Structures are given as C-alpha cells and as structure tokens.
Amino acid sequence: MTIGEVFSIILSILFVLNIVFAGIIIFLERRDATSTWAWVMVLFFIPFLGFILYLIFGQNLTRRRLFDWEDIKKIGIEDLIRAQIAALREERFHFIDPSVREHRDLIFMQLVNNDSVLTQENEVDIFIDGGKKFEALMKDIEAAEDHIHFQYYILRDDKLGTRIIKALTKKAEEGVKVRILYDEMGSRSISKKSFRAFHAAGGETSIFFPRRIPFINLRLNYRNHRKIVIIDGKIGYTGGFNVGDEYLGLDPKFGYWRDTHLRMLGDAVKALQTRFILDWNQASPDKRDIHYQEGLFPAVDPHAGNTAVQIVSSGPDSQWEQIKNGYIKMILMAKESVYIQTPYFIPDQSLMDALRIAALSGVDVRIMIPNKPDHPFVYWATYSHIGTILEAGAEVYIYDNGFIHAKTIVVDGKVSSVGTANIDNRSFALNFEVNAFIYHHPFSQRMALIFEEDMKQSTRFTLNNYKKRSLWIRFKEAIAHLLSPIL
C-alpha cells in the first residue's frame, strides 16, 4: 500500500467520523440551531482538529445527574417548595413586603423550574470595591466559630490568595471546619503545595471537574464559575469577585477592578449553603461528602431584614437556562428602565429580542461594558452585538475607570439580579453559575444609582461611533460573531 493510499484512507475515515459527529449534534444532542451550525462548521472545515475540539468542548451534560445530596429532605426544602408553589397558585401566598407581589410570575417561574425558594427576611449589603469586600470577608472568617465553606472559580497563589489561605488555615487550627472548593481550570495557577499547611491543620479541599488523565481535561468546557462563601451557616457571600490581586486593582493591565458582590444575612444563606453542599459532594474525593447536621442550617434572626431574595443556579446539566430565562422575564416586565452591567455582551437571539423589544417599546435600556478586553476574542464578539442593540434605541456605555466585571441587571428600580453569570452563551448554557434575584425597591434603587454613578466614569458609545469602526475591526467582529454560540 502506497503512502498516497494510506493518506486517502485516513481522509476517508475522518470524513466518515465528521458525518457521524455531525449527525450526533443534529439528531441526538438536541442543541439550539445556532450552536449546531457552529459545531458543524468546525467539524467540516477543520476535520481532524474539529474532532478533537468537539471531544473537549462539545459534550452535552443535560441528561446527566451531577448533583445529589441524600440528606436534602432533612432540611425541609422539598416541603417548603411544594407549600410555596401551592400558595402562589392559589393566590394566598403571604408577601411580607406587599410590593414583592408584582413580581409573582418571575418568582413562580424560578420556584417551579429551579427549586428556588423565596426567602423574605434578609439583610443584603453591596460591595463594588474589592478592597472593601475582602476586608469584610476577612473579618467574617476571623470571627467564624463552627464552619467555613469557601468556593471560587479563580483562587490565585498570589498576595491576596496567600493571605486568605493563611486565615483559613488559622481557623482550621482552631477547630473550625473549613472546606475549600475551586475550579481546576479557573484556578490552574495554584499548586497543591499552597495547601500543605491548610491540610495539615485539618482543612479540606476539593477540585471541580479535575482532569482524569495528564494534560487533558475532557470536561474543560464546563466550569464551575460560582463564587460562594458561607460562614457558620449565618453569613453568605456571592457575586463577581474572584480571589486574586487583580481583583484589588493591583494588575496594571486592568487597573481599577470594578465588580459587584453581595453579603447576606437571613434565610437566603440557607439556599447558598445548599448550593455549596451539592457542589462539594459532586467534587469531593474519596466520598468525603457533607452530611446533614444542625450547625449547617442554624436558626437565623427572623428580623435580619426585609429584603426578598431567590438564589437561582444554572448549569449544563439543567433542562432550562434558568438565569437567562430570569433575565428575559425581568426585561419583558420592564415599564421604565433596564440597566445591565456585564464584561461580555454576547446574548443569544432570545435575549437580544427581549432587549430589542424593550428598547423599541420606549423602555430606557442601558448597557455598560468594559473599555478593554480580558479575553480579546470574546471582546470582539461583544462589539459585534452592540450595533444591533444601538439600532433599537438602547444606550451603550464604555466603562473607562479600569475594568468592569460586574454581572448585574436592574429593572425599573424595583427588581435586580447580582451574581456570577455574564451575558453570554458560556454562562447561560456551559458554566455552572449562581445569581441572587432580589425583590426590594430600596436595594434596586441603590443598584440603579450605582449604575448612574458609573456612567460618570464612562463614555457613551453611539451608533455613529459604531458605524465608523475600521474594516479590520469589522472583520474581527464578523469572525467572533460567527463563533459566538460556542465561545
């Protein structure tokens, strides 16, 4: 057999494999049409590499049960969910704050499809500066008495990361149960030796979706992007800040880091605690699962506050894109304004339609994005979507005071969402995310004021600006836009 014949056979095999995988994508995976066409193009235009890329990035986890906790019935969540659903359906649900009732449909959707219990007595603080957020977190860590659950997508081995790990190690030495969960991809720069003292003190670590073979992670495309901290089951943190010096504004590439994070007291902490336990039990090695004990869900102050909160999580294992659906519902409910801050603006057609309809209906739609990329390809995909929303009458602002990483949406100054999900397909369909949906006028009005203050440090980007972009920028946008469904 000649070299040419061997080469011909290899090409034939690759061609057949491409057809097989294209058939899997189209007929078995049941993806949306845009994602399907993007993967079919990858497979046919780069046959061998496309096959490898599909194995790494193209898996579908929708049908898999990844998260489980046998003790979940012991905390009464299932009974509470059933009770809340029945009360909402029968119009007899007691809203402590009567203004929350106008968001009943959104609350019901999140409850039925995401098991997101509505908690009504919470105190919620907002952090928009990394220094202040981490100082508050350090104080709470130092005051911990029973347990600390610590989960971040990015945990760096730098000055801030070292400081926090030392503080957690000290608490472990004092007898506090400390667990650290981090994502392998996001925290790839941290080494196991960083946890030697922590482990020696009795602390535990787990890695989400670690590689099973050296140098290759076949679940690379599915990352746990959540940021959750629970202190003694009473204090909860979630939002956009990861753990690294750049989040304190110490990276000259980005400058000041503008993000949004929440500190919560009240029953919403129980929902965050449940989310952490589910994630930990999925990732924990040697079956070091967390089992129910009262200390994990202590009684909380019934007068902690009057802020209504739903904790909503989503991921590629979910049937529905929960957080995206929540955003769309909020936007379609808008009567006056929609304010969005996001580092990546790559909405799918459904979310783009919702924003466009709102803008065309006279709703004041404002979107704020960074003036510099942390991921260039995603940055150009963001710009490729800006023109469409500008044409509908929305306003776009480019944040100039450093890098904006906040993931927030505020509607009518009445309802808002803060969390880990960006406006892109990766957050909505591929990453594991968590957001707090907050039904409280004073909180949402404060969020709107924060947005308006950020506008003073931003440049408005108009449709005329967009039309003047160079041919080179247009080319980069076109390529990025074409592949945006699988970015």
Retrieve residue 295's tokens.
Answer: 């200390």
CA atoms of 384 and 388, how far apart (whole Å): 8
Q: Is residue 326 a contact partner of residue 312, using CB atoms and an 8 Å limit?
A: yes
Chain centroid, CA 289 distance in Å: 24
Which range, 57-71, 309-323, 431-445, has the best average confidence (pLDDT)? 431-445
Helix/strand/coil (H/E/C) assignment for every residue in the chain: CCHHHHHHHHHHHHHHHHHHHHHHHHHHCCCCHHHHHHHHHHHHHCHHHHHHHHHHHCCCCCCCCCCCCHHHHHHCHHHHHHHHHHHHHCCCCCCCCHHHHHHHHHHHHHHHHHCCCCEEEEEEEEEEEHHHHHHHHHHHHHCCCCEEEEEECCECCCHHHHHHHHHHHHHHHCCCEEEEEEECCCCCCCCHHHHHHHHHCCCEEEEECCCCECCECCCCCCCECCCEEEECCCEEEEECCCECHHHHCCCCCCCCEEEEEEEEEECHHHHHHHHHHHHHHHHCHHHCCCCCCHHHCCCCCCCCCCEEEEEEEECCCCCCCHHHHHHHHHHHHCCCEEEEECCCECCCHHHHHHHHHHHHCCCEEEEEEECCCCCHHHHHHHHHHHHHHHHCCCEEEEECCCEECCCEEEECCCEEEEECCCECHHHHHHCEEEEEEEECHHHHHHHHHHHHHHHCCEEEECHHHHHCCCHHHHHHHHHHHHHHHHC
CA atoms of 423 and 394, how far apart (whole Å): 16
Convert the pLDDT of each residue in 230-247 to its tens digit: 999 999 999 999 999 999
| pLDDT grade for 55, boundaries at 50, 70 and 90 | low
CA atoms of 471 and 391, how far apart (whole Å): 20
Mean pLDDT confidence for 133-142: 98
Retrieve residue 77's tokens.
Answer: 């969540």
CB atoms within 10 A of CB 287: 6
Q: Is residue 15 a contact partner of residue 4, using CB atoms and an 8 Å limit?
A: no
Query: Could you tell me the end-to-end alpha-carbon distance of the chain, in angstroms, rounded to an integer?
Result: 42
Mean pLDDT confidence for 55-75: 60
Retrieve residue 96's tokens.
Answer: 């402590």
Retrieve residue 197's tokens.
Answer: 């003292």
Retrieve residue 223's tokens.
Answer: 């990352």
Mean pLDDT confidence for 442-462: 97
Closest CA to 275 of 34, 114, 84, 444: 114
pLDDT at 449 over 90: yes
CA atoms of 473 and 274, how far apart (whole Å): 45
Name the average pLDDT for the chain: 87
| pLDDT grade for 26, boundaries at 50, 70 and 90 | very low
CA atoms of 201 and 156, how far apart (whole Å): 20
pLDDT, position 353: 96
Mean pLDDT confidence for 71-88: 86
Retrieve residue 379's tokens.
Answer: 């940055």
| pLDDT grade for 426, boundaries at 50, 70 and 90 | confident
Partner residues linked to 345 by β-bridges? 423
Closest CA to 283 of 188, 186, 210, 219: 210
Convert the pLDDT of each residue in 252-279 to its tens digit: 999 999 999 999 999 999 999 999 999 9
Q: Is residue 316 a contact partner of residue 62, using CB atoms and an 8 Å limit?
A: yes
CA atoms of 175 and 38, how far apart (whole Å): 52
Residues with catalytic function: 225, 227, 232, 405, 407, 412
Q: Is residue 415 a contact partner of residue 437, using CB atoms and an 8 Å limit?
A: yes
Mean pLDDT confidence for 399-428: 96
Please give the residue that has the higher pLDDT: either 385 or 343. 343
Dihedral angle over CA of 347, 348, 352, 354, nearest 10: -110
CB atoms within 10 A of CB 42: 22
* Beta-carbon contacts of residue 122 (< 8 Å; ≥ 6 apart): 264, 265, 266, 267, 268, 304, 305, 307, 308, 309
* Beta-carbon contacts of residue 8 (< 8 Å; ≥ 6 apart): none
Taking every pair of Cα atoms in the chain, the longest distance, rounded to a whole number of angstroms, is 82
Closest CA to 324 of 392, 423, 415, 398: 423
Convert the pLDDT of each residue in 172-198 to its tens digit: 999 999 999 999 999 988 988 999 999
pTM of the model: 0.86
